Chains A and B, each alone.
Chain A
Amino acid sequence: MARQTRIRTKPQEGVTEVLVLVSHPMETGQRTDPKTKEKIPAHFIQKMTFTLNGKEIAVADLGIAVSKDPLVAIRVKGAKPGDKVKVAWSDNQGESGSEETTVG
């Protein structure tokens, strides 16, 4: 089942803000399952890459302390309506996802 990756853009203070929300547990690896008494393995997004019209503009390295269902936002100057903004993420267990949106 693919995890939801949601991306949107909005004009903000003269530039374009790119916001991403991913459905992801961001499990720290420090919690214990109350039923099995075992540590729940760490499962978190490590990398999030942003591109504008195919050109990389930001790469975020994330750790276990980013909240569950992470929201991450960056800003970029000079994006025009019709421009394509894409986010691609990958996690420590080999899962990945991506989503794309068009600047309005």
Chain B
Amino acid sequence: MKRILILVAAIGLTGAATAPALADPASDLKQFQDFFKKKFQTVKFDDFANGLYVLPGNEDYLEQWKAYNEFPPYELGLANGKKMWETPLKSGKTFASCFKNGGKNIAQHYPYWDQTTQKVRTAEMDLMDCAKRNEADFKFLTADLGKEQGARVPLAELTAYFYSLSKGQRISIDLSQPGAVKAYEEGKKFWWSRRGQLNFACANCHMDLAGKNLGGNQPLSAALGHTTAWPAQRLEWGRIETIHFRYMTCNSQVRAKSLKHGSEAYNHLQLYETYMSSGLPLSAPAMRN
């Protein structure tokens, strides 16, 4: 806890204004991953990609997770995503035509900094743009994704299929551009800022309290490995969902205002979180709780 407080104080985020730029992302990364390696010494690095199930004390949940994985329900959503990926769009082309290497083994670099537009881009954004360019008319192109589940879930399933084409690839995010580092810093600020009536920062629950159960049915996950399974299926939802949807529901859980699905703030958070899991293998889609 003391180390977290030192870090938080150093960044000056205990309620104060904007933080000065700290160490570079690479140093942040080492510190972040070392924290978890030290906290959970019995967990193999790659296993962090499997979420809270691998943390000590969750053996009963791990057994259940293995039982689900005998025939995971996300296969249903994934099959829907596969169908969307393979069905020619109005232009006659398929989604594969929009991506390098036909979309295979590239998801480990998402989200990425787009130097041309000077913005962070997620897989969902690239897939939607591809659909638009090829005259497709999916509901997710025009719906309010945060509110309309019926429009969002097909996007989640398509994105899940996209990620599945890179299963096992190790996360590798390019932050070599100055704009990328700035976006990363925005995401980092979000991560460490307290919010909501419960006044929690992401860091409070998912670092020091990782693996602990706050009295309900679900222990808190470790931030290391947070993004590797997404889009993911939570038992509670019974469907594949986007990581932005999870950010929205998590913000609500600490009684904070959720931001818009696809907002720049969530894109930056996703960039930060994904970078912090650098080196972990992609497992998406996967069962999470």
Contact = CB atoms under 8 A, between A and B. Distances in A.
Interface of A: 4, 6, 8, 19-21, 23, 68-69, 71, 73
| B-side interface mostly | loop
A19 B76 contact: no
A4 B79 contact: yes
B88 interface: no
Nearest to B79: A4
B124 to A, nearest CB: 23
Interface of B: 70-71, 73, 75-76, 79, 238
A100 B208 CA distance: 49
A19 B238 contact: no
A23 to B, nearest CB: 5
8 closest cross-chain pairs (CB), A and B: A23-B76, A69-B73, A19-B71, A21-B71, A71-B71, A68-B238, A4-B76, A69-B76
Given A68-B238, A69-B238, A8 B76 contact: no
A19 B73 CA distance: 12
B73 to A, nearest CB: 5
A40 B112 CA distance: 43
B73 A21 contact: yes
24 contacts: A4-B76, A4-B79, A6-B71, A6-B75, A6-B76, A6-B79, A8-B71, A19-B70, A19-B71, A20-B71, A21-B71, A21-B73, A21-B75, A21-B76, A23-B76, A68-B238, A69-B73, A69-B76, A69-B238, A71-B70, A71-B71, A71-B73, A73-B70, A73-B71
A30 B74 CA distance: 25
